[in-house]
Copies of this chain bind each other. A is one copy, B any other.
Amino acid sequence: MWPAIQWENNKVILIDQRKLPAQEIYVECTDYHHVAEAIEHMIIRGAPAIGVAAAYGVALGIRNIDEKADMDEAFDKIISRLAETRPTARNLFWALERMKKTYENSRGLDLLRLKQRILEEAQLIEYEDIQTNKKIGAWGKALIKDGQSILTHCNAGALATAGYGTALGVIRAAFEEGKKIQVYADETRPFLQGARLTCWELAKENIPVILITDNMAGYFMQKKMISLVITGADRIARNGDTANKIGTYSVAVLAKENSIPFYVAAPCNTIDFNLAHGDKIPIEERDPREVREIGGKCFTLPDIEVRNPAFDVTPARYISAILTENGIARPPFEESLANCKRED
């Protein structure tokens, strides 16, 4: 249905998100190193999608182990490799922990059945992610009224998940219900997820979308053309502080300044209950060329100094609500997110 990740003929098939929307190219991963590299190079991105891809990476990795005696060591190696791909998104670590638990609980099985059990768990994570997104959408759509305009940043859509999407899932659900809505999509430099992926996804389903550059969001808020903001999340601390794509913090501050609700849509597995607040969320700094270059072409001096943090942290006080599969959590989040912990 949606092509972000597919398991087919013992391969993980990913649409190359670096090439969209100009080209729809599929990448076949035949071992876990391929999957790890695909995550590192952002062939696949989006916190929930990374989690699903990593789970399949584990299933792929153990397929090549022929002796049960080698399994423990190999399994640890696979998990370690996949865990080092990207540091910020919680879902990656959540998925790897879940695969680890499954492995520990299945050690008694013979080699073939163990491999099958691990694959099934990855498939279950994929399946659950779609169901979770649909639940988030079902809760969240109530927050969107007929005729409203929604700003979104980056791509928290079907491409960022196993399908349907978190922030875009809420937008989809409102649209499917027949509400007349208008989406504004920030282009989201440096990787242009908004311009390339969100526009592509929404246009495919005829959901009205207007593309703007990141620095225009404030203008349209000031002009009262944005009714609400919805973004996804890469990691949420237990007080509600939310790491998401760089620029989310700016959008949240602008929304608050203009009295516009700012919503975060994310599955419970994005919440890191070990972190009291967002200050400790590791922020990935990526290759400076992503800032210097666009589409492989350098637009500045080739040796100019660059900073390239891929995420920022929006303090909980800017967030009107966090939408999970368990409902709409309102501040104080320490309390309202507790029902997610039970599910964790």
Does any Cβ of B come within 8 Å of A190's Cβ? Answer: yes
Partner of A304, one of B209, B291, B297: B209
- For residue A292, give the distance in angstroms from its CB to the closest CB of chain B: 7
A187 close to B189 (CB less than 8 A) = yes
A299 close to B195 (CB less than 8 A) = yes
Main DSSP-derived SS at the A contact region: mixed
A246–B220 alpha-carbon span in the complex (Å): 11
A214–B246 alpha-carbon span in the complex (Å): 10
Does any Cβ of B come within 8 Å of A142's Cβ? Answer: no
A153 and chain B: residue at smallest CB distance: B215
A196 close to B299 (CB less than 8 A) = yes
A211–B298 alpha-carbon span in the complex (Å): 13
A12–B231 alpha-carbon span in the complex (Å): 49
- For residue A100, give the distance in angstroms from its CB to the closest CB of chain B: 33
Query: How many copies, total?
Result: 2
Partner of A199, one of B257, B304, B313: B304
Does any Cβ of B come within 8 Å of A206's Cβ? Answer: no
Partner of A300, one of B153, B199, B216, B298: B199
Binary interface encoding of chain A residues 172-194 relative to chain B, with 1 for a CB under 8 A from any of its CBs, else 0: 00000000000000111110100
B309 close to A299 (CB less than 8 A) = no
Does any Cβ of B come within 8 Å of A203's Cβ? Answer: yes
A250 close to B246 (CB less than 8 A) = no
Does any Cβ of B come within 8 Å of A21's Cβ? Answer: yes
B294 close to A299 (CB less than 8 A) = yes
Q: Within 8 Å CB of A68, what residues of B?
A: none
Residues of chain A touching chain B, judged by Cβ–Cβ distance below 8 Å, are: 21-22, 153, 186-190, 192, 195-196, 199-200, 203, 208-220, 222, 246-247, 249-250, 253-254, 257, 291-292, 294-295, 297-301, 304-309, 312-313
Extra 4 A-B pairs, beta carbons < 8 Å, given A218-B312, A219-B246 = A186-B215, A200-B301, A216-B247, A217-B250
Query: What are 25 contact pairs spanning A and B, CB under 8 A?
Result: A22-B299, A187-B291, A189-B189, A189-B213, A192-B300, A210-B304, A211-B292, A212-B291, A212-B307, A212-B308, A213-B247, A214-B214, A215-B215, A215-B247, A216-B247, A216-B308, A216-B312, A218-B249, A218-B253, A219-B249, A219-B250, A222-B312, A250-B254, A253-B254, A295-B295
